Amino acid sequence: MDFVESCLDAVLMFGAYTTARAMAISRLVIRFFWCGLSSVLVTYLYIKVLQERNDRGSNSFRIYLLILGVYAGLRFFLAMLLKFPACHRLSEMSDQSFFQFFKWIYQERYYVGRGLFEGTSDYLRYVLFWLVIFLCKFTFAYFLQIKPLVKPTNIILDLPTLEYSWHDFVSKNNNNVLTVASLWAPVVAIYLMDIHIWYTLLSALVGGVMGARARLGEIRSPEMVHKRFESFPEAFVKNLVSPQTKRMPFDRQSSQVSQDMNKAFAALFSPFWNEIIKSLREEDYISNREMDLLSMPSNTGSLRLVQWPLFLLSSKILLAIDLALDCKDTQADLWNRVCRDEYMAYAVQECFYSVEKILHSLVEGEGKLWVERIFREINNSILEGSLVITLSLQKLPLVVSRFTALTGLLIRNETPEQAKGAAKAVYELYEVVTHDLLSSDLREALDTWNILARARNEGRLFSRIVWPKDPEIKEQVKRLHLLLIVKESAANIPKNLEARRRLEFFTNSLFMDMPSAKPVSEMLPFSVFTPYYSETVLYSYSDLRHENEDGISTLFYLQKIFPDEWDNFLERIGRGESTGDADLQESSRDSLELRFWASYRGQTLARTVRGMMYYRRALMLQSYLEKRSFGENDYSQANIPSPQGFELSRESRAQADLKFTYVISCQIYGQQKQRKLAEATDIALLLQRNEALRVAYIHVEESGAADAKNSKEFYSKLVKADVNGKDQEIYSIKLPGDPKLGEGKPENQNHAIIFTRGEAIQTIDMNQDNYLEEAMKMRNLLEEFRANHGLRPPTILGVREHVFTGSVSSLAWFMSNQETSFVTLGQRVLAYPLKVRMHYGHPDVFDRIFHISRGGISKASRVINISEDIYAGFNSTLRQGNITHHEYIQVGKGRDVGLNQIALFEGKVAGGNGEQVLSRDVYRLGQLFDFFRMLSFFFTTVGYYVCTMMTVLTVYVFLYGRAYLAFSGVDRGITKEAKLSGNTALDAVLNAQFLVQIGVFTAVPMVMGFILELGLLQAVFSFITMQLQLCSVFFTFSLGTRTHYFGRTILHGGAKYKATGRGFVVRHIRFAENYRLYSRSHFVKALEVALLLIVYIAYGYTEGGAVSFILLTLSSWFLVISWLFAPYIFNPSGFEWQKTVEDFDDWTGWLLYKGGVGVKGDNSWESWWDEEQMHIQTLRGRILETILSLRFFIFQYGIVYKLHLTGKSTSLAIYGFSWVVLVGIVMMFKIFSFSPKKSTNFQLVMRFSQGIISLGLVTALSLVIALSDLSITDLFASILAFVPTGWAILSLAIAWRRIVWWLGLWDSVREFARMYDAAMGMIIFTPIAILSWFPFVSTFQSRLLFNQAFSRGLEISIILAGNKANVEL
C-alpha cells in the first residue's frame, strides 16, 4: 500500500514538478525507491517462504518474520511520534538528523498545517468511533458479501470451456475471468462505499445520545412548557442574567426566603419574557389577546406570591369553582383537590389577594371597613379550617359574575357614566356577598353593624368609588378580569405553530449547558456581517400585486399560506378583517407596513436585517437593566428595575453600539444608486429604520489620464444614515484595483471585513433570520471563546440553524428535514468526538482577530473556491484552530423550496466538492491528519459525494455485468453449475444499494433527530408521512443530481455558481424547462438503465424466473421511474390536462426552433444543445468521454447474435453486416430529413426519391420477413441494438466536435441529436399525457405536494386553481 501511495504521489504531482520545491521532488523520488525496494524484498521473501514451506531446515520463514517485524515496528514507532498526540511534542523537540530524515520521509514538513493533532482523550474517542465502524463493516462484508461468493467463484474458475453465443475475443482459456469479474464487480463497488453506511448509522446513534445528554428535546410541546414554566425564571436568571443584575443576598434554607427568591427570580425574568412576547406580537405570530395571556406581570408589586402568565391560569378559576360546588368534605380536602393542579392553586390565591387589594383601593370610609371585616373573617375561617361553613360555596358563581361585571367596567377609561356603573356594581357585589355568600350568623352581624347600617340607610355606602390610577392596580384589574373570563384551554395558546416552536426551543435551551453571561460592559464585542448582491431587499407593492400565469399574486399566496398572521397584521395596524388590499394602499403607512409584512415572510434582506438588529435590542435591554440595578445596596422587589424606556436610554444605546456592529456588504450599492434602482431605495429605507446599520460597497470612479485614456479607481466605502435619512460616508479606502477576482461573494466579504469591529464576527447570509429570545443568549455564546474545548481555544463557534421554509410543500419539508439533520445531529458529531467540523456556511461565529491575521474568512479563486464557505473551516483547522458546535442557540435559515431550485443548489454544492478534490487545502489536510481523523474528514466532505457516485455506479456495474452474461450466453450454464440464483452476496449488495438509493440511510439521522426533539410517536408518524409523500423518489432523484454534477466536475472541472433564486415556488414548471434542466443529468442515464434492464429481461437467465428478475431489478426500476418522472410528480399542476397541452406546444416549439446568434437555450433547442457541450474543453476530457462512450457499442454487438435471423452463428461477419444496415438506415434518414432550403432546385426529384425509397423499404421488409427467419421481434431487437450505437456515435462526435465540423458532418450530427431528444421527450411525455386524462390524478398530486398545508386547513386548491373569481372571494 505504501508503494501504491508513492506511485500515486509521483503520478498526481506530475504537473507540479516545474513549480515544486527541489526538496519536495527529492522526497517523492526517495519514497518511491524506498517503498519499491521494501515491497520487492517483502514479496520475494514471501514467495520464498511459500516455496520452502515443506522444508523444515529452511530459515526463510524466520527471516521473513524478522524483517516484517522490524518494518512494522519502525512504522509503528514513527506513527506514534507523528500521530499520537502524547508523543507528538517529543518528536517536535528532537533535532537529530537521522531521526528528522525518517520523519521527513514519512511526512513532508509544512508550515501551514503544522501541529495538526488533538489531545489524547479526543484522539482515543474518534479512534474508538472508527474501530467500531471497521468491526461492523468487515463482519458484514465477510459473512454476507465475500464468503458466499467464494465457493461459486471456484466452481466457475474450474468449469470447462463454456459455449458463447457471440463471437468471443477474450474469454477463451482464461478460466472465465470476465464472468467472475461480472459477479464480483458490484460486490467490490459496495465494499468500497459501505463504510459510509456504517458511518451514517453510528453517527446517528452517537449524535442521538449526545443530544439526549445535552437535554435537547426535553420541552417539545405546549403541555411541557406549561408543566415546567415554574422552573423557567430560576434557569433564566442562572444562565442569561449577569451577576450585576441578580445580586441576591438571601439564605435559601428558609422557606419564606425561598418563596421570596422565587418571586425575585420571576421579577428578573418577567421583563425579558415580556419583551420576547412583544417581539412575537410585532412579528404578527400572536394576536393582542394572546399577548395579554402570554405576558407575565412584573412581580415587583406588594402581592405576596408569584404571578404567572394568564395562559397558565386560564379557566383555572372556573374549574376551582366547579370543585367548590361539588365539595362535600372539609376545607382541607377541597384545598388538596385544588392543589393537585399547582397552577389552579396559584390562580385561586392570586384571585383572592387581588380582589382584596382592588376592593381596598376602590372604596373609602364605611365601605373600606366592610372590606376589611369581610376579609378578616374569611382569613380567620381559613386559619380555623372552617371556610366551607363560613361561606356558602354554592353562591360562588353569582359572586364571580358580579365581580366580573365590576372589573369589566374598571378596565375602561373613567367617565361619569362608568363611575356610576362601577359604584352600582360594587353595591351589588356587597349585596351578594353579604346576603348570599356569608353564613347566617355573619350575615346578621354585618346587617346589625351600626356604622354600616347608617351609611346604607343614608345612601352613602359605595355611593362613589376611587377609580384606579395606580399602574399596579390597573394592571391587576385587567389581569383579574382576564383570569375570570378566559375559558380557553392553555394548550391552544399560542395558536401559531412557529410561535410555539420558538418558545419551546427557547425554554428548553434554558436547561442546557452554557457559559454564564457576562455584563454587557464586560462581554466580547462582536460584529455581524452579511454579503448582499442584487437579491430582493423589500417587496414592492407592484411585486406583491403582480399575478403569475395562474392569476395568483404573491400577496394572495401569503394571505392563504399565513391566514392567522394576516389577521394579526390587520389587528396590529388597526384594520378590520374585511380590509382589502386597495384599502391598505390608500394609507402610505399601512402600505409600507404591508410591504414589510410580506417581506418578512420571504427570503429577503429586510427579514435578515430585522433579525440581526435583535442583537442590539437585546443588548440595550440587558444593559439598561444592569445599569438600573447598580447602586442598590438593599435588595427588595421594589428595587428590581423596570424595562420601561430602555429603547430610549442613551446610555443603553451607546453601550449596545460599543458591543455590536452590523455591516451589510452591498457590493453594487453604488451602481444601484446611480441607476436609481428600487434596491438602492429599499436599502436606504433600512438604513433609516435601523440607526446601527452600516452598508459597505465598492465605489468606482472614472479618472481621465494624461494620455486621454480613462482609468478606473476603486474604493471600499462604509455609509450610514444621517439625521436627514441621507447616506453619510464614514470611511473610504482606496483599493489597488478591481477587487472582484472570482465568483463575487468572497470578494464581497473580503473588501468589507475591515469595517467590522470587535473580537468576534458572525457571518450571516441574506436569507437568514434571527429571534429576540436567541439574541439574548449571544453573550453566553461569545464566552465559549474563553471556555475549555480541548487542546486549543475555539476559533469558530458553530451555531444551530432552523430552516423556516419547510412549512408548506412536501419538497420544502424534505429539504428542511434533511438540512436540519445535518446542521444539528451531523455537525454535533463532527465537532465532537470526530473533531473535523468545518465551516459549512452561516451562521458560525469567527474569532475575528485569529482569522483576519490568517487570511480572512473567504477564498476568492475562481472555480476552485466556488464553495467558498468550507475553505474558512479548512483554513482555520490548518492554522491550529478549533471548531466547535453549540445548540443552545439557533438562527433561522431559508432554503430552496422547488425541485428545480433544490437541484441547482445540490448541483452547485456537488460541483464545489468536485473542485475541492483539486485544492491544496484538502491535500494538506489529507496528508497531515492521522488515519482516523482523515477518515472522518473524507467521509464528511468529498468522500460523501464519492460514495454517492459509487451508489449509482453499483447499478451500472451490476447491470452491465448481467448484460455481459446475457449477451455471451454463459449465464444459463454457470447458474446451474454454481447455483447463483438468489445468491446471498448479490442480494446483500443490491439491498444495501437500494437502501442507500432511496435515502433510507440518509433518513436515519433525520429519524434520530425526530425521536430526540419530537418524541418517538411523532418521529414514526413523520417518517411514515414522508414515505407516503414519496420522499424516496425525491432522495433517489437527488442522488442522481449529486452524482451527475460531481462526476462531471471530476471529469472536466469547471464547476459554476448556479443562482437558485429565493422566491415562492408554487407555480407550474413547463415541460421544456424541466427537460432542459434534467435531460443529461437524469433522463439519459435513466433510459440507459432501462435499456439494460430490458436487455437483461429479454436475454438473461435466472433459475427463479420472473420472480428472481423482479427481486434483482426492483431497485433499478425504481431508480428509472424516479429519474424520469420525479420532475413532473413534484411539479404543481403537473397532471392537469390544459397545462399538459400547453406544455406540449411549448416543448415542440422549443425543439423545432432553429435559433441563431444571441438566441438563448431557453428559446431554442439548438442553442441549448450547444450550451450542454461547453464543459468538454480539454484533451483529457475528450479522451475520457470517448472511453465512457464505448460502453454503448456492447448492445449492438450482443443483440445481433441473439436474432432469429442469425440463428446460432457466431461469425464476425454478422456484426459487420449490422453496421452496413446501420449505415443504410442513416442514409435513408438523411434523405428524409434533407432541408427543403437546400433542395429548392430539385424539389420534385427529392420528393419522388423519398416516395420510391419509402415503398421500397416497406416492400423489402415484408419480403425479408416472409422469406427468411427475420421476425417482428427481431425488428424491435434491432431498435434496441441500433439506438445505443447511435447515441455512442453522437457522444463521440460531440467529444471530437472540431474534427466532425472539419469533415462537414456537424449539421447531420445535430439533426440526429434533435431526433434523439424528440424521442426521449415523447417517451417521458406520453405517460404524463395519459395520466392527465384522469382528473383524480391531479387532485392526488396536489394532496401529495401540499400535505402540510392541507393539514393546517389552508386553501391550496384556490392557490393552484388560478381562478380570478376565487381570488375575489
Give the C-alpha separation, 366 to 924, whole Å. 90
d(CA 1051, CA 1049): 5
In a 3-state reduction of DSSP, which class is residue 4? Answer: helix
1207 to 225, 393, 1268: CA distances (angstroms)? 79, 104, 11
Q: What's the helix, strand, coil split of the chain in %, to 5?
A: 65, 5, 30
pLDDT band of 236, cuts 50, 70, 90: very high
The pLDDT of residue 685: 94
| Strand ranges (E), 481-622 | 526-532
Contact 191, 185 (CB under 8 A): no
What residues does 695 pair with on adjacent strands? 664, 719
Neighbouring CB atoms inside 10 A of 201's CB total 16
pLDDT value of position 1365: 40
Q: CA 366, CA 451: separation in Å to the nearest integer?
A: 7
Please give the pLDDT value at position 705. Answer: 56
pLDDT at 1354 over 50: no
Range 136-155 burial, b when 16+ CB lie within 10 A, else e: bbeebbeebbbebbeebbee
538 pLDDT exceeds 50? yes
Residue 1245 is predicted with a pLDDT of 66
pTM of the model as a whole: 0.88
| Residue indicated by cell numbers 456581517 | 529
Mean per-residue pLDDT over the chain, rounded: 83
Least-confidence region, from 210-224, 479-493, 601-615: 479-493
Residue 707, pLDDT above cutoff 80: no
Judged on CB neighbours under 10 Å (0-12, 13-18, 19+), 609 is buried
Q: What is the pLDDT of residues 1312-1342, one digit of tens each?
A: 899 999 999 999 999 999 999 988 888 888 8
Q: How far apart are CA 367 and CA 362, in angstroms?
A: 9
How many CA atoms does the CB half-sphere of 1186 hold within 13 Å?
10
Per-residue pLDDT band for 1267 (boundaries 50, 70, 90) equals low
Q: Rounded CA gap, 459 and 451, in Å? A: 12
Q: How confident is the model at residue 16 (pLDDT cuts 50, 70, 90)?
A: low
Give tens-digit pLDDT for 92-146.
655 556 666 666 766 677 778 877 888 888 988 999 999 999 999 999 888 888 8
Residues in CB range of 568: below 8 A, 6 or more apart: 281, 284, 285, 286, 287
As a whole-number percent, the residues of the chain with pLDDT over 70 amount to 85
Q: What is the pLDDT of residues 303-337, one digit of tens each?
A: 778 888 988 888 888 888 888 888 777 888 888 88
Q: How many residues does the chain have?
A: 1369
Rounded Cα–Cα distance for residues 607 and 537 (Å): 8
Q: Distance between CA atoms of 34 and 27, rounded to whole angstroms?
A: 10
Mean pLDDT of 405-420: 84
Answer yes or no: are the C-beta atoms of 1116 and 955 closer than 8 Å.
yes
Task: Look up cell 436567541; give the residue.
Answer: 774
The closest of 339, 358, 318 to 473, measured between CA atoms, is 358
Q: By C-alpha distance, which of 840, 821, 842, 827 is closest to 893?
A: 842
